Structure 1
Amino acid sequence: MSSAGSSPAVGRWLDPNKGFKGDVPLRKQQLALALRALCRLLRPADQVKAGKRPLKQAEAAARLGCTADMLSRYLNTARIPARAFVERLYEQACTDAPTCGQAVDITRDELLALHASALGERGGCEYCPELGGRIDSLTEQLNSPCPACMARQRQQEARRRQRRRQLAARMRSIRQEAAKRHAVAADSKTELTEKVASKAGQREDPAAEQAGSALLPVPRRPRDRQQSTKDMLAARQLAAQAEELDGSGREDLAFTLLRQSTTEVLTPAETALVLVELRCRERNRLADDLIHVYGRDQENQDVMAVALELHEKGAPGDAGAILRAALA
């Protein structure tokens, strides 16, 4: 191997002057010295950030598929690693050596010969080397993460990220729809205000009033067939969105959508239609909660308007319930 003077910085765990205890056989010491020299060639994964920082023992162990304690035994005690570990370390050292201006001064065959020699030196029956290698291999497998578990964990994390993205997209869609409804309601109120002002001006001007009397009468808004159709479409769309959220297990989000839409965007007539539509879709719990909150929080005039619409739509029970909520 390269001389110590030109070697990269190393930590205490790779001190070239570190000796061995008396129970470490000679051939195992030779193998351990070769393994230490190869470990000194390993570099941190991110060399740009690491700079000249020496490789930590835990980092080396992670790259080699073992624990830091097991790596220490391989390098300092009589414990002989499995052949697979020796080959893995040699491949990693050959990969990192050029990046630190070093050279691997031992061939793969020479390293495996040292490994076989250390196995042959170990005492016991003729099967001990084989059993020792199998034990080391099994230990490495136990310490390595299960590929199936890691893959399942990645799949679960991917599904969680997808659900979060879908929920965020749905919330954006709900907010955009609520903003559109709010704008439509504001335009309708502005148009109604302009009509009222126009009629008031005509009454002040007899000529305009006479001209206006020749025009066809404008039906009252509650009986406007076109407006009623728009109310029904809005109610069905809102109830459908709430049903979808409730069916996917997000009852809290469904109720938030209903509460904000009925109190901030929809008219009392539309709110009554939403309640009727929820009953038709068998979302009774959402309907009951909406009746309670609307009756409790809204102005008495709006509550009475909703109760009247419910009674006309054939839902006297809900009409009475929303009035009782207002009186509670």
Structure 2
Amino acid sequence: MSSAGGSQARYRWLDPGKGFPDEVLPRKRQLASALRALCCLLRSEDPGKSGSRPLKQAEAAKRLGCTADMLSRYLNSPRIPSQDFVERLYKEACADAAASGQDVGITSEELLVLRARALGEQAGCEHCQELGRRIDSLTEQLNAPCPACAAHERDQEVRRRQRKRAAAQLRSARKEAAGLRAMLADMKVELAEKLAAEAGLREGPAAKAAGALLPVPRRTRDRQQNTKEVLAARRLVAQAEELDSSGREDLAFTLLRQSTTEVLTPAETALVMVELRHREQDRLADGLVHAYGRDQENRDVMAVALELHENGATDDAGAMLRAALG
């Protein structure tokens, strides 16, 4: 026999799943299974050997004060051990389990109840058998899931899922807000560059040479809109339209409102409102016209209203002025 096969045969007596002969009654089988599990916790006391090595059957029998043959009968046959043996096995198993950080999984009282039931079953005592059946019934009732506890657990699971969804939505909203902030920052950079370019043109050599001249009236602005203004308005409206179509009307309106009040010029703001009407985004347009007229300075409101009037949006210009007047 190989060493591996010898090792398996040597510890076969510790196998908790080992079957029982037909003459072993159910209560005794329950007791024997519990005793087998406790025997599996016993470890060698020989300091010259590994402390994690399970005991051989003869070693365990010597430690428990019985013969190997008697131990085998306790674990596999109808023979029921004495109470002293059961208590000693439990004590030894608890000591070894504690040393290795394990749990025996059963109390001393529960083990003695198993022995008492096995004795009653063996003696054919009707009282003991009836008591055993009652104990089984109560055990089943105790192990059965409590409806109230099950309902509470389901409610807790629903709340956990709701919190998880809310956290995901919050992360998504924060991500979108970060994207909006980045978008606004880019638009501010573009506006600053445009203003700087315009300032550079105004402060060119010709302007410096004419610095001593008296100022002349400002020329009426060309009705042909600046290409950059049109592109900025269309780009902003397209982004707001995309947010609105995905069910995020609140973010769409926030983007429009912050962009028109913090980034865009009055001319560009008016173009945004005109573009919204052109794309039939009337809900966003109405809200933006009202909010701008209500919240902005009168000079800005008048400038945008004038641009709207020049672009043919007279109704929106009037609505903005009425919002400004309260």
TM interval, short-chain normalised: 0.5 to 0.7
> How far off is 1:165 after superposition?
0.9
1:177 matched to 2:175 = no
Question: Of residues 128, 134, 138 in structure 2, which corresponds to 1:132?
Answer: 138
Equivalent residues, number: 223
Counterpart CA distance in 2 for 1:181 and 1:94 is 74
Whole-Å Cα distance in 1 between the matches of residues 173 and 137 of structure 2? 55
Deviation at 1:176, TM superposition (A): 0.8
Alignment partner of 2:207 out of 181, 186, 200: 200
**RCO greater where, 1 or 2, for CA within 8 Å and sep 6 or more?**
1
Structure 1 residue matching 2:254: 3-state secondary structure: helix
Aligned residue number for residue 3 of structure 2: none
Q: Does 1:155 align with 2:161?
A: yes
Aligned to 2:265: 267
Q: How does 1:209-228 map to 2 (within 5 A)?
A: 223-228=224-229
Q: Distance in 2 between matches of 1:95 and 1:171?
A: 60
Tell me, yes or no, if the aligned pair for 1:307 and 1:322 is still in contact at 8 Å.
yes
| Shift in alpha-carbon separation, 1:143–1:299, aligned structure 2, 3 A | closer
Please tell me the residue identity of whatever aligns with 1:186: A
Contact kept, 8 Å, 1:239 with 1:278, in 2: the verdict is no
Which stretch shows the higher mean deviation, 265-274 or 95-104? 95-104
Q: Per-residue displacement from partner, 1:83-137 (whole Å, max 9, x unpaired)?
A: xxxxxxxxxx899734558988989x95783484599777967753343232222
Give 5+ residue unaligned stretches, structure 2. Answer: 1-30, 39-93, 122-126, 214-219
Q: Residue in 1 aligned with 2:238? A: 237
Matched, 1:190 2:188: no
Structure-2 residue corresponding to 1:305 = 303
Letter in structure 1 aligned against 2:200: E
TM (norm. structure 1) is 0.53
- Taking the aligned partners of 1:115 and 1:254, their CA distance within structure 2 comes to 76
Q: Does the residue aligned with 1:266 lie in a helix, a strand or coil?
A: coil
Query: Residues of 1 paired with 2:255 and 2:97: CA distance?
Result: 58
Aligned CA distance change for structure 1 residues 225 and 260 (closer, same or farther; 3 Å): closer
Letter in structure 1 aligned against 2:300: D
Aligned-residue offset at 1:152? 4.4
Q: Structure 2 vs 1, CA of residues 268 and 122 (structure 1 numbering), >3 Å: closer, same or farther?
A: farther
Rounded to whole Å, the distance in 1 between the matches of 2:280 and 2:193 is: 33
Cα offset, 1:316, TM superposition: 1.7
Q: Secondary structure at the match of 2:300?
A: helix
Letter in 2 for 1:310: L
TM-superposed CA distance for 1:166, in Å, is: 0.6
SS in 1 for 2:144: helix
- TM-score, length of structure 2 as denominator length: 0.53
Residue of structure 2 equivalent to 1:209: none
Aligned CA RMSD, in angstroms, stands at 4.4
What letter is aligned with 1:132? L
The one-letter code of the counterpart of 1:303 is: V
Relative to structure 1, the CA distance from residue 111 to residue 262 in structure 2 (aligned partners, 3 Å threshold; closer, same or farther) is farther
Q: Is the 8 A contact 2:230 2:271 kept in 1?
A: no
Q: Give the superposition deviation at 1:259.
A: 2.1
Deviations 1:207-246 (A, max 9, x none): xxxxxxxxxxxx967635522442333332353255257x
Give 1:294 deviation, angstroms: 1.5
Please tell me whether the aligned partners of residues 234 and 270 of structure 1 are also in contact (alpha carbons under 8 angstroms). no
With 158-167 and 140-149 compared, the bigger mean Cα shift is at: 140-149
Structure possessing the higher radius of gyration over alpha carbons: 2
- 2:287 pairs with 1:286: no
Q: Which residue of 2 aligns with 1:320?
A: 318
